[in-house]
Structure 1
Amino acid sequence: MAWLEVVSESGGRRHRVALCSLTALGLLLLGVLTYVPPLLVAYRSHGFWLKRSSYAEQPSVRFRHEVLLVGQMEGGGFVGWSSFPACNRLLGDRLRVPLVSAREEDSNQDGMMDLLNFHLELPLQATEQIVGIQLILTFTYQLQRMSTFVMQSMAFWQASSPLPGSKVFVSGDLKLHQRQPLSHTGLDSRYNVSVINGTSPFAQDYDLVNIVAAYQERNVTTILSGPGPIWVVGRAPDAPFVVQTTIHYPVELILYPFPGFWEMIKFAWIQYVAILLIFLWIFERIKIFLFQNQVLSTVPVTPVPPGLSYKEHQS
């Protein structure tokens, strides 16, 4: 007859049961009650299977040196400038060619840019006064820790005041905005297209309303987040209007769905084992109680004395 050793007690006592017996059936039931309920508890507590996760990454951001500037004039009308020759031709006598400087900095020397300092001086006639500014700067934005995600994005801000200004200062973070999570593998370049169609001869392609509306249709964008613009008044008649912008490229928390198989298993396994340990402790005591009180009949096994083999001890 086939026997199964089922438990070890303190003092070296062991028990055996026949494989074809009610005791073996009871042990099978105890095993099911030990291992299955923790799985049900972990699953019903929600979050057993990892369906969405996140990770932190420093994006690779580079300024594309594409600029679109519109200045609202006191009393109506506007002036402007862009880095696109086709747009400048459309501006005609409203074009004001500024002095522009842009410098990206790697503050922590890790090989990735951390911020952009953008400075623009817009020349004006003595009778012209600026009461509002709208500015678009474009960037190449790349993530590559999990999947490789590449897009062309923009930072847009605007400022206005009832008083004519001499300078406006803006400082903020170029934040990633996700309407949907990114993939955790592969290449995603669906948004690696120009934010502004700089070769178009049509005025509607440079209209800020159309540009922002088309950009907001994307599921993944960047926005300029930070305190409001600082508007400085008191411009001298022969002085330019100054636009000073500092844009930081912060570490981002990236959301992605459908993690890999092993990541899901690791997350689920931790939850299952944490509950299983409690059930193992409880049902081990239950089995010892049942065997010691012969609720489940077993055959005690005498420990083998030192120096004797198991067969010699049995004989």
Structure 2
Amino acid sequence: MAFYEVYSHPALLRYKTSVCTKATLFMIVVVCLTYIPPLLVAYRSQGFWIKRSTYEEQPVVKFQYQTLLVVATSVRGDYVAWSTFPHLNNMLGANLRIPTLSVREEDQNQDGKLDFLILKLQLPLKPEEQVYSVQLLLTFSYQLFRMSTVVMQSLAYLQHSSSVPGAKLFISGDLRLQQRTPLPHRGLYNIYNVSVIDGTSPFASAYDLDNIFGSYQERNLTTVLSCVVPVWTVGRAAGSPFELTAKIYYPNEVIRYPLIFIIFMKFKLSYVSVLLVFLWVFERVQRFVFQNQVVTTVPIPVGKPHLS
């Protein structure tokens, strides 16, 4: 008589052992190897308890054509100056020197964002005047868009001095973002979208560098010129102008922002994803060990009386 299968179901076996056996020790080791390594992997790869995160973005930076120049012409404190602010120029009187100025910004990699600024300045001087130090303040429009939309006015401060009078100064550096607190992850952040220098003020205090930087440094978000490389050239001929060349780069920035719930859960899910792999592997390890009685246990089919 021929037989054929009319129904099937898997048989469930329970493997039992006493407490102090190799099988118990094996299960303790398996549980530890299943749950602890994924925790370590997730922690080492992304940081399991991160409360803040970062991203990288190249800012949109544009020179605002606002400039303040102060040049010391002797060791006794004599100076000449110039700015793009008419009120300040009127107050300078005989100390005013109007330079020739050329500015160029370039998008070197053609990605639609400017990469650096080149500013060239020639300052006319009297034959007896010599340059010992230079202070130059430039203002910029600074914007970020990837997470929150950040729009602000910022500045770069260039300064160099020497005990030997100079004929030329070349100075370069990176316009870097300074964060005291993380930026919001979305929305518009424009509380610093105001002029760093109040060019409409008729008072000299509005153009004093101490006052400008005093209020500027109170902000949570500023820019600063870093990695500065000055080259001071001596030997200016009588009647020749003092030459200043500044090259300022706009590099990518690493922006800090608070970790939002979705990204927080992504870090937690990284542990779960690694855990699933370990569960799959050690489930097959346990099946092989117990089915082949690598460690001694008592297999009991479900539904059969238990051994006493």
Asked whether the two chains share a fold, i.e. TM above 0.5, the reply is yes
Task: Provide Cα deviations, 1:162-207, integer angstroms capped at 9, x if missing partner.
Answer: 1111111101111112222211111111111111111111112111
1:115-126 equivalence runs, <5 A: 115-126=116-127
Give the aligned residue type for 1:298.
P
**Partner residue of 1:298?**
301
Question: Could you tell me how far apart the structure 2 residues matched to 1:45 and 1:251 are?
Answer: 27
Kindly indicate whether the alpha-carbon contact (under 8 Å) linking 2:176 and 2:225 is maintained by their aligned counterparts in 1. yes
Bigger Cα displacement from structure 2, 269-278 vs 40-49: 40-49
Task: Provide Cα deviations, 1:89-115, integer angstroms capped at 9, x if missing partner.
Answer: 121211111111111111112221111
Kindly indicate whether the alpha-carbon contact (under 8 Å) linking 1:148 and 1:185 is maintained by their aligned counterparts in 2. yes
**Partner residue of 1:104?**
105
1:199-278 equivalence runs, <5 A: 199-261=200-262, 263-278=263-278
**Partner residue of 2:20?**
none
Q: Which runs of 4+ in 1 moved over 4 A?
A: 36-46, 287-296
Give the aligned residue type for 2:60.
S
Kindly indicate whether the alpha-carbon contact (under 8 Å) linking 2:42 and 2:271 is maintained by their aligned counterparts in 1. no
Kindly indicate whether the alpha-carbon contact (under 8 Å) linking 2:120 and 2:246 is maintained by their aligned counterparts in 1. yes
What TM-score do the two structures reach when normalised by structure 2?
0.80
Give the aligned residue type for 1:80.
A
1:26-45 equivalence runs, <5 A: 37=35, 41=39
Kindly indicate whether the alpha-carbon contact (under 8 Å) linking 1:121 and 1:241 is maintained by their aligned counterparts in 2. yes
Question: Could you tell me how far apart the structure 1 residues matched to 2:123 and 2:298 are?
Answer: 94
1:164-175 equivalence runs, <5 A: 164-175=165-176
Q: Does residue 1:67 correspond to 2:72, yes or no? A: no
**Partner residue of 2:182?**
181
Distance 1:122 1:260, change over 3 A: farther
Distance 1:148 1:44, change over 3 A: closer
Question: Could you tell me how far apart the structure 2 residues matched to 1:170 and 1:107 are?
Answer: 20
Please list every run of 5 or more consecutive structure 1 residues that lacks an aligned counterpart in the other structure.
1-11, 23-29, 301-315
Give the aligned residue type for 2:135.
Q
How many matched pairs? 278
Please list every run of 5 or more consecutive structure 2 residues that lacks an aligned counterpart in the other structure.
1-7, 17-27, 304-308
Kindly indicate whether the alpha-carbon contact (under 8 Å) linking 2:115 and 2:250 is maintained by their aligned counterparts in 1. yes
Kindly indicate whether the alpha-carbon contact (under 8 Å) linking 2:107 and 2:113 is maintained by their aligned counterparts in 1. yes
Q: How many Å apart are 1:38 and its aligned residue?
A: 5.7
Kindly indicate whether the alpha-carbon contact (under 8 Å) linking 2:81 and 2:92 is maintained by their aligned counterparts in 1. yes
Distance 1:115 1:260, change over 3 A: farther
Task: Provide Cα deviations, 1:43-64, integer angstroms capped at 9, x if missing partner.
Answer: 9958324422211111100000
RMSD over equivalenced CA pairs, Å: 3.1
Bigger Cα displacement from structure 2, 279-288 vs 168-177: 279-288
Question: Could you tell me how far apart the structure 1 residues matched to 2:134 and 2:191 are?
Answer: 31
3-state SS of the aligned residue for 2:93?
helix
Give the aligned residue type for 1:189.
N
What TM-score do the two structures reach when normalised by structure 1?
0.78
Question: Could you tell me how far apart the structure 2 residues matched to 1:70 and 1:40 are?
Answer: 61
